[in-house]
Each structure stands twice: as structure tokens, then as C-alpha cells.
Structure 1
Amino acid sequence: MSFQTGLSGLNASGKRLDVIGNNIANANTVGMKVSRVEFNELVASALGPSGGGGAGGGIGVAVGAVSQQFSQGTINITGNSLDVAINGGGFYQITQKDGSPAYTRDGQFKLTNTGAIVTNSGANLMGYPTTLLGVTTSTTIQKLTVPTGAPIPAKATTAVSAEFNLDSRAAIAATATPPVPIGTYGTTLTGYDSQGVPVPIDLYFTKVGADKWDIYMPDPLSTTTTPLPPKAVTGLNAVPPSPSVSFDINGKITAPLTPIDIKLYSQNPNVNLASTPPGQFTATLDIKTASQYGTPFAVSSLTQDGYTAGNLTAVTINDQGVLTTQYSNGQTQARGKISLADFRNVQGLVPIGAGAWTESAASGQPIQGSPGTGNFGKLRSGATEDSNVDLTAQLIDMMTAQRDYQANAQTIKTQDQTLSTLVNLR
């Protein structure tokens, strides 16, 4: 019986050394979770003289389970835009090459030439679809992808916004001496037509009365001379003809408080062919934040919503899991949101290699959600979660397992010597 007991100890110690060796080998594996061997004592039972239960001697040891410890690993900053670490509970949901679902804590994602977001083993990262602004549109997860082929199309300018201060000390242009040049109170920004060709947007302001100003814009199609104080200027039209921009005695704008229509003119003859004339298109101008104080004319903000075509330059994942594409025209667009999954019993997950697990009856079905909600951890972009292996502890455990192995081998050796003594009795 002692041979069997010692042999079971050798097998158990050998298994423990195998697990420790795997932990040490993966001490630098991102998302790896440390494992430990859990042992069960083997006992022979016998019935006593009175028929009651009695315990016989122990007959060895068996490996009860090899369990993983899902404690948090250290967050390591990498600076890689597609590296993402989970700080808290949850797993990334991935779809393997054979189409089966799996789960991982390894957030070292890559972008393929087809635009798929994948793990190092080629599994697709799963998430929720979103609008271009990052608003989730469905709770059904799908493979996260980004467009890597053709550039995003151009968008014509449809809305212009300007925030500025007009000098209340300015003289009325019609009576000013010397005359006030038309560009004294003016600004410019660049818009775009429907094919992404830049269109200059010039705005000029002329004081026409107490607390009243007119807005003028270039009109390249004008064939008449528009009278502008202090002299006639060709090619400028008032926008709008009425009402003027008005302010109250406190310098706050009173009109117009809603966007006004303006005409923009492209030098590209191939846009807006149906309009009269070609190249002309309409946008709105919002100046409701303008002011008139006794300080020099200054523009604090100019914005417009058009842009030219743009090629993909970068892909990033933010702390909320939103996948964002960046383009050469300065635009950014959301392309989905990472979803997380968790389980009632993570110890029931089955490891399948490459830092991934699959669900089982013991783990229960996955519970899906967004990062930072419920029991799900928050994401840390530009970082990875290191292995939770404590290398020092593993080395100490390895020495202990080695001593255990040697001790079990010694019991077999001692039993062999005892049997040899009995055989040699005369």
C-alpha cells in the first residue's frame, strides 16, 4: 500500500510542478491568470465490529482541480492606441476563426487590412453598433470593423457659426471721417462645397446706425455696384438685406437670434449644376452670441460643419470602449463600442489557450454589458493588464513542490528497503 501512496504523491507533486512551471512561463503574458493545484486526500474506509463507520489509513492523494485565480493584474501603460486593459470585472467577447464565441482579458488588439479588430490569434473583437457620434443603436453584439478602403466622402458646408465683438465706439460708416475701410471689421474662414473643394467665407460688418450693423459678403456673380459706406464697392451684397444686426444698450445682441441664410460660391463648376447659377449653394449663419462692447473688434470663435474627403490615419479606443476612426481631414467618427461579458462562476470557464476561455455549464451563460456599468470594470486605453502571476511566490512554491516530490520518492525508497529486509530474513 505504501508504494501506491508514494506514487500518488509523486504524481500530485509532478502535476503541481507542471502548473507552477506554466505560471512562471506566462509571468509576462498579457491577461494571463495564475493557476493553482488543489489536492484531495484519499482515505480507505472500513466497518467496525459493531457495524459503525470507521476510518482506515490514508491511501494517498489525488488532484482535485486546477483552478485559476481571476484577481486583477497590474495595469501597464503602453501608449499603443489599440491596447486596452480592463480595470475590474468582465471579459472581452471575441469570435474565433471557427465562429465559436470565447472570452479573454488580453486587450492587445490589431487592425487587419480588411478593417477588422482582432486578437493576436485572429479572433474578432465583438461590440455594439453605434452612430458616428458614438451613441449605441442596438444591444445585439457584432464584429467591430472600421472602413480602411475608400476615403470618407466630402461634406458641403451647411452651417456657419461666428462669435465676435463689434466695437461700440465705432463711427457710423456713412459719416465717418476719414472713411472706414471695408475690411476694418471683417473676418474669414474656409468652408467646403459638396465635392470637398475649399470655399472662402468672408464676413464684413459696417456700422449703419446706433447699435446697428449690416453684414456683407462677397458676391462674385454680382454685376452691379452695391453702395457701401463710405464708397461704392463692387461685388459685395448685404446679408441679410434686413434686419440689421442690432444690440441693446448693454451690448447684448437682439437680432437676429436665429440662424440666417447665406449664399456661398464655389469655384468648382461641377457642383450644384441644378442651381442657378452653378457653384452656388446655401448655408446658415448663426451669430446669436455676438456682442457690442466698448473694446476693439475681436473674433473669438469661427466654426463650420463642412469638410473635404479624408483618408484613415488612426484608430483609437477610448475609456468607454468606443472605437473611433480619425481621418486626414480632421474628422473623427465612432465605429462601434466594445461590449464586456461576465459570469456567475468564472471558475467554471474552460481555458482553451491563447489567453481565452469558453463558457461551460459550470460557469453559466454570459451576462453582457458596457464598460463601467454594473459589475463591469472600466477600460484603460493605451494600456494592457499584466499577468497576475507573483513570480516570487511561484519560485517559493516550486521549491516546496520539489521537496514534496523528493519526500514522496523517499517513502517509496524506504518501503523498498523494508521489503528487501523482509525478503532477506533467514
Structure 2
Amino acid sequence: MSFFTSLSGLKNADTDLRVIAHNIANAETVGFKKSSVQFADLVATGSATDPRRSPGIGATIAGITQDFVLGPLEQTGRALDLAIDGDGFFALANPFSGEVSYSRNGNFRLTAVGEMEDSWGNRLQAYPVDAAGNPTSAVPADINVPVTNGTATLANVTINVRGIVIAAYSDGSTQPVGQVALATFPAPNGLRAAGQTKWQATGESGAAVFGNPGIGTYGEMISGALERSNVDLAEEMVALLTAQRNFQANAKAIDTATQISQTVLNLRS
């Protein structure tokens, strides 16, 4: 039994090492959120078991949780770089499937036809607005920035703290074209990581609740900045050493159990 107990410790230490390595590998990934492994013990018990004689039979993984604490904000000076100063996720729609994913990575670009998208072509979701910049619908949709305004051509695009996307044209005119929609979740730890610093809603996370930047718990928009990874390398290196020692200790326990078994076999022979 000691072999299987130590084997469970080895497997758990290996998972811990992989999670820590993943955190370290993404220390410079924009919008990345670190994870940590939660463990639980296993005990051989039954209704007729004497509680004073119940042996432990190892450990198991209770879950891998993500830490959504705000990462440091870095100024980039690029107008279409957005950071959320507070709670919320950007909503991004796949142009082919329509599937919506959620991200804290605000590195966006403008296509030739005026669509705002991320590096993988997913469309940023926003509320349509009137001439005064007030939302006209509670249902977010793709942002479309008109590349011309009569005879004037698009000069630049700016985004204010309320998330209002404002198009400026060569004739000096300006036009609000949308307000960035932010999503929150009843239980963000239930989100499923989908890669590319994106998450997908699940039954555990609950459905997305959309809101306006700067209102209630939704964070304000900071244009010309990006949210860096919230990984603390010093903290991860300490955790890495601890996980390594844990792995070595369990391996040593298996080695000791092997020696004891060999000694018993030699006595019997």
C-alpha cells in the first residue's frame, strides 16, 4: 500500500510542477492569469472502521484554480491597446462560428473594412451608440468603424475611459461608433481556459453578465495600455523548489518501501 500512497504523491507533485512551469512560461503573456493546484488527502475509511486505526492512502488533486487578480498595467502608447482597470472581460466573437470567448488581452487592431479584432481575428463586441455616445441596445455586437465619412477618410480611432470608440476623420469631424461591452461571471473560477489567453463560459461559471465600463463593478478602460501577466516569478520559483522537494521525498519513500520489501523477501528465503 505504501507504494500506491507514494505514487499518488509523485503524480500530484508532477501536476504541481507542470502548473508552475506553465505559469513561468507565460510570465510575459499579456492578460495571462496564473493557476495553482489544490490538494486533498485520501483516507481508507468505512462504517465499521476504527477511527483510531484508519490509515491514509495518499493524496488527490481537488482542483486547479485560476487567480484573476489584476496584473500590472503597462503603457504602450498605442490607441487600440486596451486595459481593464478593474473587473470584467472583453467579449470576442469568432467570425465563422459566432462562438463568444472572453479575454483580458486588449491588444486589438483595425481591419481594412473597419472591424476591430484581436490577433486571431476574433471580433470585439460592443454596444451600438447614438450620436451622443449613449448605448441604443443592451445586446453587444461587432464594432464596425466607417472608414469614410462622406468625402473624408478615417484618420484615427480613440477609446475613452467609458469604452466609447470614437472615429476621427481627415476633415476634423468625429463620430462615436460603439461602446466596448464588458462581461463578468457569477463564478469566474468556473471558466474554462481555451488558450490564447481566452476563456469560455461553462455551467460552473454561469452565463456572462454584460455591462458598461466604469459602471458598478465593471472596470474603466485605459487606452494605450495592456495588462501584463499576474505571475510573480519570485513566488513561482519558491513554489517550484517546494514541488521539486515534494517529488523527491515521494520518490525516496518508494525507494525505502522497496528496500523494506526486499529485506522481508530475503528473510523469508
Aligning the two structures, in what range does the TM-score lie when normalised by the shorter sequence? over 0.9
* AA aligned opposite 2:168: Q
Specify the alignment match of 1:409 in structure 2: 251
Question: Paired residue for 2:84?
Answer: 86
What residue in structure 2 maps to residue 26 of structure 1?
Answer: 26
Do residues 57 (structure 1) and 55 (structure 2) align?
Answer: yes
Q: Distance in 2 between matches of 1:46 and 1:107?
A: 53
Q: Are the equivalent residues in 2 in contact too, given 1:43–1:57 (CA < 8 A)?
A: yes
Identity %: 40
Q: 1:68 aligns with which of 44, 66, 69?
A: 66
Q: Is residue 349 of structure 1 aligned with residue 191 of structure 2?
A: yes
Q: Partner letter of residue 248 of structure 2?
A: Q
Cα-to-partner distance string for 1:212-237 (whole Å, 9 max, x where unaligned): xxxxxxxxxxxxxxxxxxxxxxxxxx
Q: Which position in structure 2 is the counterpart of 1:375? A: 217
Please report the TM-score for the alignment, with normalisation by the length of structure 2.
0.95
Secondary structure of 2:77's partner?
coil
Q: Are 1:152 and 2:152 counterparts?
A: no
Report the Cα distance in structure 2 between the residues aligned to 1:129 and 1:47, rounded to whole angstroms.
62
Moved over 2 A (4+): 51-55
Q: Residues 55 and 366 of structure 1: is their aligned pair in 2 closer, same or farther, counting only changes over 3 Å?
A: farther
Residues 1:135 and 2:134 aligned together: yes
Distance, in Å, in 2 between the alignment partners of 1:106 and 1:422 is 60
SS in 2 for 1:45: coil
Q: Which amino acid aligns with 2:20?
A: I
Deviation of 1:135 after TM superposition, in Å, equals 2.1
Deviations along 1:79-118, one digit per CA (max 9) or x if unpaired, are 0100110011111111124211111111111112221111
Aligned residues: 267
| TM-score computed with the length of structure 1 as normaliser | 0.61
Per-residue CA deviations over 1:363-390 (Å, capped at 9, x if unaligned) read 1111111001111111111101111111
- Counterparts of 1:130 and 1:46 in 2: how far apart (Å)? 63
The counterpart of 1:359, out of the listed 201, 206, 210, is: 201
Cα shift at 1:139:
1.2
**Which residue identity does 1:142 align to in structure 2?**
A
Say which is worse superposed, 394-403 or 361-370, in terms of deviation. Answer: 361-370
Question: Within 2, Cα distance between the matches of 1:47 and 1:341?
Answer: 47
Q: How far is 1:18 from its partner? A: 0.4
The answer to whether the aligner puts 1:125 opposite 2:128 as a matched pair is: no
The 3 A distance-change label for structure 1 pair 88 and 55 is farther
Distance 1:378 1:54 in 2: 57
Amino acid of the structure 2 residue aligned with 1:95? A
How far has the Cα of 1:131 moved from its partner?
2.0
1:111 partner amino acid: L
Counterpart position of 2:161: 319
CA contact (8 A) 1:43 1:55 kept: no
Tell me if structure 2 keeps the 8 A contact 1:47–1:53: no
Q: Please tell me the root mean square deviation across aligned C-alpha atoms, in Å.
A: 1.4
1:247-292, Cα deviation, whole Å (9 max, x unpaired): xxxxxxxxxxxxxxxxxxxxxxxxxxxxxxxxxxxxxxxxxxxxxx
